[in-house]
Amino acid sequence: MGRAFVYVILGGGVAAGYAALEFVKKGVSHGELCIISEEPVAPYERPALSKGFLLPEAPARLPSFHTCVGANEEKLTPKWYKEHGIELVLGTRVKSADVRRKTLLTATGETISYKILIVATGARALKLEEFGVNVSDAENVCYLRDLADANRLVDVMQSCTGGNAVVIGGGYVGMECAASLVINKINVTMVFPEAHCMARLFTPKIAKYYEDYYTAKGVNFIKGTVLSSFDFDSNGKVTAVNLRDGRKLLVDMVVVGIGIRPNTSLFEGQLTMEKGGIKVNGKLQSSNSSVCAIGDVAAFPVKVSGEIRRLEHVDSARKSAKHAVSAIMDPGKTEEFDYLPFFYSRVFTLSWQFYGDNLGEVIYYGDFSGGTFGAYWVNQGHLVGSFLEGGTKDEYQAIAKATRLRPAVEDLAELEIQGLGFAVAI
């Protein structure tokens, strides 16, 4: 049993949705494109799962956040795919790939062949078991990667109102879920190994602002330690978290956000890997010219810094998808991908954006006591990174533009005096 398509997108997440829209814009013919996804729903804006989806009142639910509403583009419902002759094969895991034969084998036993494959398999959440902690499928321990996880988190949250949650991990999932738990009237303790939250991006001074804000909302921080084990009741529910420093925290629920691993296993030994992902060139093409990779799974050259990087953020998923399809459908007119790294988050009423690289000396500006503030990173005499909390649309655009241009900065004291005005004036 088998089907053949000109283009196959493997994975049905953010990158797949944006790739589909670009295929249609570039005039793909009916019957040429197929998307295969393990998830049972059409591509959606994954960032909604840790934000609007978790709100206690008027929460976001599908179909409201199918791609590509996050970039103010069309909402691609299952009907849209049908109308454009795109085959959506949902709820179907691909269990092996043969890039020499150009075939994929699904868990249902179907062979799907392609002329060009776009790998958009994203990533999976790291599990505590991988760090030697036994969870044994406890029903009140939640991860957050897909819709099924989000539905489960909502159910557990609703059964714990007024209770205690421990959030393990001080990264994006930890910070966003902690805020959502507080909004749902749950007492939160965050536990992470680093000295401060968001350690890979935030400086201690920036982190302190958010930690103080969370503390004022009632969040308790336990830093510099990790959990060592759980206590369970007779139903297999976790009742306490035991930390390596000897403390025991009584809990009603646990949320775990300890990082991800890109889903590359189908292609190990077949495609060149780098930075834990599939290595691609400036056209998002892998070491096999019939296979592209986009989104979280792709390690691509970032022109502004001259480095190969794998980014785990929605903007790079959207833009790498669009660029890959453009390179496939319009090769003559498509330049090398020129991407400026962009990360953001929204928690409570706070909202920040970051562009570029967090390398070199840090210059702060603005009001760290509750207003608009930010930071510049200056490396080897050039502005390479910019962070801004509480900016306007125009101000965010200004820091993005300034960072892309990498202007020379001769006088750090002068940059500090100019603050946000430096970027706005460029």
* Cβ nearer to ligand FAD, comparing 120 with 168: 120
At 220 the three-state DSSP class reads strand
Tokens of 370: 């509750």
User: How many C-beta atoms surround the C-beta of residue 289 within 10 A?
Assistant: 10
Q: Which own/partner pairs from 102-108 qualify as long-range (CB within 8 Å, at least 24 positions apart)?
A: 102/290, 103/2, 104/8, 104/10, 104/36, 106/36
Which of 258, 384, 388, 398 touches ligand NDP (CB under 6 A)? 258
Bridge partner list, 165: 188, 253
* Options 8-16, 252-260, 317-325, 327-335: segment touching ligand NDP (CB under 6 A): 252-260
Residue from 117, 181, 260, 325 in contact with ligand NDP (CB under 6 A): 260
| Residue 233 beta carbon to ligand NDP: minimum distance, rounded to whole angstroms | 23
Strands, E, within 303-349: which ranges? Answer: 307-309, 342-347
Give the one residue of 12, 17, 171, 277 binding ligand NDP; rule: CB under 6 A: 171
- Contacting ligand NDP (CB under 6 A), which of 67, 140, 264, 345? 345
Q: What is the residue type of 243? A: L
13 binds ligand NDP, rule: CB under 6 A = no
Q: What is the DSSP letter of 45?
A: -
Region near ligand NDP per CB under 6 A, out of 22-30, 63-71, 84-92, 172-180: 172-180
Q: Residue of minimal CB distance from ligand NDP?
A: 171
> 406 Cβ partners below 8 Å, 6+ apart?
304, 382, 383, 384
- Which of ligand FAD, ligand NDP, none is residue 193 near (CB under 5 to 8 Å by kind)? ligand NDP
Q: Which residues bind ligand FAD (CB under 6 A)?
A: 11-16, 36-39, 46-47, 49-50, 93-94, 120-123, 144-145, 173, 263, 266, 295-297, 312-315, 317, 343-345
Q: What angle do CA 116, 120, 124 make, to 5 degrees?
A: 150
Instruction: Answer for the pair 94, 100: CB distance below 8 angstroms, yes or no.
Output: no
Q: Are 189 and 249 in contact (CB under 8 A)?
A: yes
Decide whether 172 or 221 has the Cβ nearer to ligand FAD. Answer: 172
Instruction: Give the whole-angstrom CA distance, residue 389 versus residue 290.
Output: 42
Among 13, 17, 70, 257, indicate the residue that binds ligand NDP (CB under 6 A). Answer: 257
Distance between CA atoms of residues 44 and 11, nearest Å: 12
Q: How near is the Cβ of 415 to ligand NDP at its closest, in Å?
A: 27
Chain residues 189-218 in contact with ligand NDP, contact rule CB under 6 A: 192-194, 199-200
Residue number, 378 or 389, with CB nearest to ligand FAD: 389
Return d(Cα 176, Cα 371) in angstroms, integer.
20
Residues 91-110 that bind ligand NDP (CB under 6 A): none
Q: Give the footprint of ligand NDP on this chain (CB under 6 A).
A: 50, 131, 168-174, 176, 192-194, 199-200, 226, 257-260, 312-313, 343-345
